[in-house]
Structure 1
Amino acid sequence: MPSHGYRRHDLLRVEPGAWRDMLLASGSLHCLADESRRLVEGWARRGWPVIVRGGTTGDDECAIAVGLPLPPALGKMRLGFLLSAGCTATNVASVSPAETARSAPAQLCPQLEAAADLGRRLGLRPAVFGALLWQHLTGLAYVRSDSDIDLIWQAPCREGLDELLDSLAALDDAGPARLDGEIILNNGEAVNWRELRGELARPGGTVLVKSMHGTELRCARHLFV
Structure 2
Amino acid sequence: MPDRPARHTLVWLSAHADWRADVPTHDSRLAAWFACGWPAVVARHAADDPDPRIRLGVPLPPAEGKQRLALRVPLHDIVRQAPPLALSHVAVHAGVPADWQVPIQALERLAPAHVFGAFAWQVLTGLDYVHARSDIDVLWSVQTADAADALVAKLQVWERRFDRRLDGELCLPEGGAVNWREYAGCAREVLVKRVDGAGLEARASLFDGVGLPRMAWHYDHVTKVAM
- Please, what TM-score do these two structures have when normalized by structure 2? 0.82
Alignment of structure 1 residues 1-225 onto 2, 5 Å: 4-18=3-17, 21-23=18-20, 26=21, 28-30=23-25, 32=26, 38-56=28-46, 59-101=49-91, 102=93, 103-119=95-111, 125-199=112-186, 205-225=188-208
SS at match of 1:110: helix
Structure 2 CA distance, aligned partners of 1:132 and 1:60? 33
Q: Is the 8 A contact 2:90 2:123 kept in 1?
A: yes
If asked which structure has higher relative contact order (CA below 8 Å, sep 6+), I would say 2
Q: Is the 8 A contact 2:19 2:72 kept in 1?
A: yes
Shift of 1:57: 7.1
Q: Alpha-carbon deviations, 1:46-100, whole Å to 9, x = none?
A: 2211111102476445311111111111111111111112214211243122321
Structure 2 CA distance, aligned partners of 1:107 and 1:15? 38
Shift of 1:186: 1.7
User: If each structure's helix is expressed as a fraction of its own residues, which one has the higher value?
Assistant: 1
SS at match of 1:17: coil
Structure 2 CA distance, aligned partners of 1:16 and 1:22? 10
Q: Alpha-carbon deviations, 1:110-148, whole Å to 9, x = none?
A: 1111121112xxxxx300011111111000011121111
SS at match of 1:172: helix
Give the paired residue count: 205
SS at match of 1:128: strand
Q: Is the 8 A contact 2:173 2:207 kept in 1?
A: no
The corresponding residue for 1:122 is none
Shift of 1:214: 2.1
SS at match of 1:181: strand
- Amino acid corresponding to residue 88 of structure 2 in structure 1: A
4+ residue runs over 4 A deviation: none
Query: Is the alpha carbon distance of 1:192 and 1:93 closer, same or farther for their aligned partners in structure 2, counting shifts above 3 Å?
Result: closer
Structure 2 CA distance, aligned partners of 1:74 and 1:7? 27
SS at match of 1:12: strand
Query: Is the alpha carbon distance of 1:27 and 1:183 closer, same or farther for their aligned partners in structure 2, counting shifts above 3 Å?
Result: closer
Structure 2 CA distance, aligned partners of 1:57 and 1:7? 14
Structure 2 CA distance, aligned partners of 1:141 and 1:40? 18
Shift of 1:195: 0.7
Question: Cα RMSD (Å) of the superposition?
Answer: 2.0
Identity among equivalent positions (%) equals 34
Shift of 1:9: 0.6
- Amino acid corresponding to residue 198 of structure 1 in structure 2: G
Structure 1 CA distance, aligned partners of 2:10 and 2:198? 21
- Amino acid corresponding to residue 116 of structure 1 in structure 2: E
What are the ranges of 5 or more consecutive residues in structure 2 without an aligned counterpart? 209-227
The corresponding residue for 2:225 is none
